[in-house]
Amino acid sequence: QHESPRESRSGHRRCARHRKSRGGTSPGEWGEGFALTILFLKWTRRIYPINCWENVQNVLRISLVVALVDLNQSVGEECKSDLDGQFGEDNCIFIQCDVTDAGKLKDAFQNTVKKFGRLDIVINNAGINNEKNWEKTIEVNLTSVIQGTYLALEHMSKEYGKEGGVIINVSSMAAFLHSPHQPVYTATKHGVIGFSRAIADASEQGSYGVRINTLCPAFVDTQLLRTVEHEETMGKFVKYKDEFKQRMDKYGVLKPSLIAEGMLLIITDESLNGAVMKITCSKGIHFHTYEPLSA
């Protein structure tokens, strides 16, 4: 049982699309996206675009069809091959895409709808940790999430004559912390929460029929964690890597399957809109509570 923090208006869903973080090297490292797809495809047979290995596996268990979107062609094809073996060849497609290329991202959405006829769930999960090339971190972690949300609304919002849907934007527990090793990464994750809550309010007030929520996991056992050890990604902030590792030891590392479980809760609980889900080793799946503003 998980308490729902707020009510919203929303409709039923049927098709999903998932976008994955850049830089994974194998299905096992594709993280929460693949986990969710597996969970989905074991659940119903609807249509969703997703981008992480365990997310994908979980999705494929729930009667869904899934579009996997990733920059890495070989990893994406390997994930699709694995899923085809488990769930059959008609349940998912892979689309190679750089999410920072607005035109290609738009094409990925259009190709998903062309293949499956509609779109019901979008998970914006692309993410990198690069403090040396921090402009790219903003492009991937924040700009692509905003772009992906607007594209999702074009294909799902009732204001465009569609049937509604669900959007999950993945932030991080870094949005609630401040630390010396990843200042720009932290800023992007703050931005994801702020944007998602604001557009969720717009969806509710405008009767879009689309629920938009944010998921904030703590440290997750994915390839992204390894980037903090390298100067080519962290630049001068690599000197804080030992402190980062100490935090990991203190707070623990989550399995992607728990992230997938949280995503599935957001998808199935129709009372959730504008919610911010936290997932930590100590508290598991829970929601952030915001105090009302006072004058």
Q: Parse the chain into domains and list their residue ranges.
A: 36-287
pLDDT band of residue 248 (cuts 50, 70, 90) is: confident
Distance, CA of 285 to CA of 278 (rounded, Å): 6
167 pLDDT above the threshold of 70: yes
Give the chain's mean pLDDT.
83
In order of 38, 79, 234, 253, 259, the CA distances from 217 in angstroms are 19, 23, 21, 10, 7
Amino acid at 169: N
DSSP for 102-133 reads: HHHHHHHHHHHHHHHS---EEEE------STT
262 pLDDT above the threshold of 70: yes
Distance, CA of 91 to CA of 60 (rounded, Å): 7
Give the pLDDT of residue 28.
35
Count how many Cα atoms sit within 13 Å of the Cα of residue 11 in the half-sphere of its side chain: 19
Share of the chain above pLDDT 90, in %: 54
pLDDT band of residue 19 (cuts 50, 70, 90) is: very low
The radius of gyration of the chain from alpha carbons, rounded to an integer in Å, stands at 18
Amino acid at 52: C
Reported as a single tens digit per residue, the pLDDT across 90-112 is: 888 999 999 999 999 999 999 99
Reported as a single tens digit per residue, the pLDDT across 104-135 is: 999 999 999 999 999 999 999 999 999 999 99
Pair 148, 19: CB distance under 8 Å: yes
Region 34-56 average pLDDT: 55
Of residues 229 and 50, more confidently modeled: 229
pLDDT band of residue 281 (cuts 50, 70, 90) is: very high
- Whether 185 sits among the annotated catalytic residues: the reply is yes
Nearest to 126 by CA among 94, 172, 91, 158: 172
Backbone angles phi, psi at 140, to 5 degrees: -80, -50
Pair 142, 127: CB distance under 8 Å: no
3 pLDDT above the threshold of 60: no
Give the pLDDT of residue 35.
64
Catalytic residue among 150, 185, 251, 290: 185
Nearest to 136 by CA among 256, 19, 21: 21
230 pLDDT above the threshold of 60: yes
The strand pair at 210-217 and 65-70 is best described as unpaired
Region 176-186 average pLDDT: 91
Give the pLDDT of residue 94.
92
DSSP for 213-281 reads: EEEEESSBSSGGGGGGG-HHHHGGGGGGHHHHHHHHHHH--B-HHHHHHHHHHHHH-TT-SS-EEEEET
Of residues 76 and 39, more confidently modeled: 76
Region 83-91 average pLDDT: 86
Write the class of the CATH domain 36-287.
alpha beta
152 pLDDT above the threshold of 60: yes
What's the pTM value of the predicted model, to 2 decimals? 0.83
Longest distance between any two alpha carbons in the chain, whole Å: 58
Pair 40, 62: CB distance under 8 Å: yes
29 pLDDT above the threshold of 50: no
Strand partners for 66: 16, 92
